[in-house]
Amino acid sequence: MNEAEAASRAAELRETINRHAHLYYVLDAPEIDDAAYDALYRELQALEEEYPHLRTPDSPTQRVGGAPLEGFTQVRHLEPMLSLANARNEEELLAWDQRNRRLLEAQGLGEERFRYVVEPKIDGLAISLTYRDGVFVVGATRGNGEVGEDVTANLRTIGSIPLRLLTREPPPVVEARGEVYLPLAAFRRLNEQRIAAGLPAFVNPRNSAAGSIRQLDPRLAAARPLDVWCYGIGYSEGLDLQDHTGALEWLRAAGFKVNPDIVTVEGIEQVAAAARSWEERRADLDYDIDGAVVKVDAFALQRALGSVAHDPRWAIAFKFAPSTMTTRLHSIEVNVGRTGVLTPFAVLEPVFVGGVTVERATLHNEDDIRRKDIRPGDDVIVQRAGDVIPQVVGPVTTGEVEDEEGRRVSREARHAALPEWSMPRTCPACGAETVRETGEVAVRCPNRSCPAQLIESIKHFVSKGAMDIEGIGDETVALLHQQGLIENVADLYGLERDHFVRVEAGKVVALPGFGGKTRKGPDGGLELVEAKRADKVLAAIEQSKQRPFARVLFALGIRHVGGVTAQALVERYPSMDALLSARAEDLAEVPGIGPVVAEAVEQYLGAEHNRETIEKLRAAGVRLVEESPARAEGPLTGSTFVLTGKLPTLTRGQAQELIEAAGGRVSSSVSRATDYVVAGEDAGSKLDKASRLGVAVIDEAALLELIGDGGEGRQDGQLALS
Ligand code: IVH
C-alpha cells in the first residue's frame, strides 16, 4: 500500500468507524459486534502508526489521548449561553403563555395557540460543542455564560459526541448545545467501585458528571461513562432553520444524541399535560431530570420575544418538586424502638423536597453515618422520592458557605472542622448503658423496663395490622403510660372508665381529651351522663380480644416476627401453649422460619416477664388459640400426633398434611394429650418422653396403615406399640 492508498483507506476507515460509533452510542442499534469494531479500529491505528500525518482530529483513535493538562484554558462562547426562568406550577406556566401572547400581539404576531416544544430538563452540566467545516474543534463548559472552560479533550472521550458531523455538506460553523450527564446505572456502578477502592462515593450523578468533565487527565474522564443529550443550536453560519423542531431534527441527522421523547404540541394546555407526563416518567428514566423545558417553537416568534437579562422569554423551565435538596443538619438524635434498638435520625432545617416539607430523616445506624461521614452541622443532601421515607444521602463538601461571622468558607473545611458523631453510650430514654453485640450493627438498650421500649411496644400492639385498637393512637399511649395506667400491653385490658373520667369530690377528673357530660344528681352532686370517647376506647379494647391468634402473636412485637412469620408459626403451632413448649430447633423447622427468628421467639417466650404478660392476656380473654378452620373428618379425627426424627419416605410437611387430611392433629411436643408419636431415624428426647408418659410410638408405615393408605409393598405395617 502506497501513501496515497493508505490515506484513502484511512479516510474510509474513519468514516466507517464513526458511523458504527453513531449506531452504537447514539442510536443504541449496533450493526456489528465488538470484535469486528475492534478489527477496524486496529487497522486504522496501524495505518496511523505508519503515517502519523493521517492522525486527523476526527479520527476515532484520537478520542482518548494527549497528555494531562496543566489547567483548563478559557473560551469565549460564540454566542452567550443563556439560562432559564422557572415556572414553579401550572399557574405560572399559564401566566408565561399569556404574557408571550400579549407581547407578540403588540407586534402584530398574535395567534390563538402557539406551537411549543416540551423537553426533559436534564440535571447535568451544560456544554457547547463547536464544529468547523464539520469537525469537532472546541468543547466548553457554560462557565459564566460568556466564557467557559475548554474541556474538549474530555468531551472527545464521550462516544455519543460526533467527531465529524454526518451531514454531507456541513455548515462552516455550528455550535451544538446540550447537557452532559452520567447515566444512573453507571453512577451506581461507579460508586460501588469507589467504595470498594476506599474512595468517597459521589453524592449524586450531577456532581460526578461535573467532577468527571473537569478531570485534567482525559484518560480519567474516559473511564467515566458520561453521555450527552443535545437540545439546541447556539451560534451557526449557513444554516437555514425555521423552528426549534427543525433544529432538533438537524442535530439528529448530524449525528447528535437528541432525546426521542421530546414532543411538539399546540397550545399551553397540551404543554402542561406533556410536562406532567415527563414528571410521571421521571422515576423510570436512566438519567436525572429536574423539570421540563418548554420552548416556543417558531424562531421568528423567539426573535420577537427576545430575552430579559440572561433568560430568554421564549423558554421556561417547568420545575418538578425536587427529589433532593440541600439543607442544614442541626443535630442527630436517637429513637429507642420497641425492641430496644437505638435508631439515629436527622433533625434538619425544614426543606421542601419531593413535594413535602421535611424536618426529619432516617439515618439507619451508626456505621452508615460513619460511612457517609455525616456530622451534625453539615449541609446535607436530603432525598425523598415517591412515598419513601426521607433519607440523608450525605454531606455536601463542595462549594462555599457563609460561616457564623458571615465569612465565605469552603464547605470542605467547614465539614472537616465539625466533630464526628457517635452513638450515645447510655440510653437517651432511661440512661441504661447501651450494648452493641459483636457482629451486629444495632446498638440497643438492654433495660427491659426502659420507658421508651414499653411505650413503643404498646404503640405497636394497638396499631393497625396488630390488635387494631381504634381510638388509641401514639399520643394516647404516651398519655396513659405517663399517668401510670399502663406499664405493658396486658394493662390495656385492665382499663376502666374511671381511669379516663370520673367525678371525684364533686368535680370531674378526666384525662386530657376524655371529658364527659355531667348533670346534677338527685343528691345535688355531679354525676356523669356520658363519656363518649372513653366508652369508645373501652369498647375497642374489648373487641380486640377477638383478634385471631396470629394477630396477637404479631402484636406482641417479638423481634423478627412480622405478620407473615406470625401466620407461619400459628399454622404449625395453633396455640400459645404449643408455642410455649416449642424449642428453637423445632421452630426452625417451620417453613419460612430460620434459626435467627426461631432463636428470637424462644428467647422472648422464655423470658419470665413476657410469660407474665401472656398469662395476663389469657386471663383477660385475649385469644391465644387459633380457631382452626373446619377440620377434615377422617380415620384420625380426635387423635393428636407428634412427629420426631427422619421418616424413611415422607418429609415432615408431607406427614403433617396426610395426618391433617385424615382429620388428625399434629402437635410439636409430647404430652399426656398426645395419642401417637411417629418416630423415624435419630428420634431424640421426644421418644424418651413418650415412653415415660406411656404414649404409643409408631413408625411411618404404621401411620400410613392408620390412615388407610398402607398400599402394596408396605408389609411391616403393624402397629409397633411400645
Ligand atoms: S435550553 C435558552 N434545554 O438548564 C435556554 N436547557 O437553567 C438555554 N438544561 O444551562 C437552555 N435540559 O444546563 C435547555 N432541554 C434543555 C435542558 C436545559 C437541561 C439546563 C442547561 C441550562 C439550564 C438552564
Indicate the average pLDDT of the chain.
89
Q: Ligand 1 centroid to 690 CA: how many Å?
A: 80
- DSSP label at residue 505: T
Question: What confidence tier does 113 reach under pLDDT thresholds 50, 70, 90?
Answer: confident
pLDDT value, residue 718: 34
- Residue 242 pLDDT greater than 50, yes or no: yes
CATH 1.10.150.20 fits 549-620, yes or no: yes
pLDDT tens digits for range 564-598: 889 889 988 999 999 999 999 989 888 778 888 89
- Residue 711 pLDDT greater than 50, yes or no: no
- Contact assessment for residue 578 and residue 640, using Cβ atoms and an 8 Å cutoff: no
Classify burial at 44, counting beta carbons within 10 Å of its beta carbon; exposed 0-12, middle 13-18, buried 19 or more: buried
- Residue 323 pLDDT greater than 80, yes or no: no
Read off the amino acid at residue 99: R
Q: Tell me which residue has its CA closest to atom 18 in ligand 1.
A: 121
The CATH code of the domain at 324-417 is 2.40.50.140
pLDDT value, residue 43: 95
- 3-state SS of 221-270? HHCCCCEEEEEEEEEEECCCCCEHHHHHHHHHHHCCCCCCCCEEEECHHH
pLDDT value, residue 239: 95
- Residue 247 pLDDT greater than 70, yes or no: yes
CB atoms within 10 A of CB 189: 13
Residue 701 has, within 13 A of its CA and on its CB side, a CA count of 11
Rounded Cα–Cα distance for residues 134 and 58 (Å): 9
Question: What confidence tier does 400 reach under pLDDT thresholds 50, 70, 90?
Answer: confident
pLDDT tens digits for range 327-373: 999 999 999 998 899 999 999 999 988 767 899 998 878 888 998 99
From 227, 231, 308, the mutation candidate for ligand 1 (largest count of ligand atoms within 8 A of CB) is 231
pLDDT tens digits for range 256-313: 999 999 999 999 999 999 999 998 888 788 898 889 999 999 999 999 999 988 899 9
Active site residue 121: yes
The residue with greater pLDDT, 442 or 84, is 84
**R_g of the chain computed on alpha carbons:** 37
42-46, 203-207, 532-536: which range is least confident on average? Answer: 203-207
Q: Ligand 1 centroid to 176 CA: how many Å?
A: 12
- Residue 228 pLDDT greater than 70, yes or no: yes
Per-domain residue ranges for the chain?
Answer: 3-62, 85-319, 324-417, 451-544, 549-620, 640-719
Tell me which fold the domain 640-719 belongs to: Rossmann fold (3.40.50)
- Residue 201 pLDDT greater than 90, yes or no: no
- Residue 183 pLDDT greater than 50, yes or no: yes
Rounded Cα–Cα distance for residues 205 and 187 (Å): 6
Dihedral (CA of 298, 304, 310, 313) sign: negative
Q: Ligand 1 centroid to 85 CA: how many Å?
A: 10
Ligand 1, CB cutoff 6 Å, lining residues: 82-84, 119, 121-122, 126, 142, 179, 231-232, 293, 312, 315, 317
Per cent of the chain over pLDDT 70 is: 95
Q: Which CATH number fits domain 85-319: 3.30.420.40, 3.30.1490.20, 3.30.470.30, 3.30.565.10?
A: 3.30.470.30
pLDDT tens digits for range 139-165: 999 999 999 999 999 999 999 999 999
- Contact assessment for residue 179 and residue 125, using Cβ atoms and an 8 Å cutoff: yes
Question: What confidence tier does 53 reach under pLDDT thresholds 50, 70, 90?
Answer: very high
The superfamily in CATH containing domain 3-62 is Helix hairpin bin (1.10.287.610)
- Contact assessment for residue 275 and residue 294, using Cβ atoms and an 8 Å cutoff: yes
pLDDT tens digits for range 647-692: 988 888 788 888 988 888 888 778 777 889 999 888 878 888 888 8
- Angle of the 595-606 helix axis to the 608-620 helix axis, nearest 10: 70
Contacts of 645 (CB under 8 A, 6+ apart): 679, 680, 681, 682, 683, 684, 687
pLDDT value, residue 709: 64
Q: Tell me which residue has its CA closest to atom 11 in ligand 1.
A: 83
From 77, 83, 118, 123, the mutation candidate for ligand 1 (largest count of ligand atoms within 8 A of CB) is 83
pLDDT value, residue 198: 59
Q: Do domains 451-544 and 549-620 have the same CATH topology?
A: yes
Q: Tell me which residue has its CA closest to atom 21 in ligand 1.
A: 126
The superfamily in CATH containing domain 451-544 is 5' to 3' exonuclease, C-terminal subdomain (1.10.150.20)
Q: Give the strand pairing for 289-296 and 307-308.
A: unpaired
- DSSP label at residue 503: E
Q: Ligand 1 centroid to 383 CA: how many Å?
A: 23
pLDDT value, residue 98: 93
- Residue 705 pLDDT greater than 50, yes or no: yes
pLDDT value, residue 15: 93
Q: Give the pLDDT mean for 55-59.
A: 91
- Contact assessment for residue 536 and residue 500, using Cβ atoms and an 8 Å cutoff: no
* pTM: predicted TM-score of the whole model, two decimal places: 0.54
Q: Ligand 1 centroid to 150 CA: how many Å?
A: 19
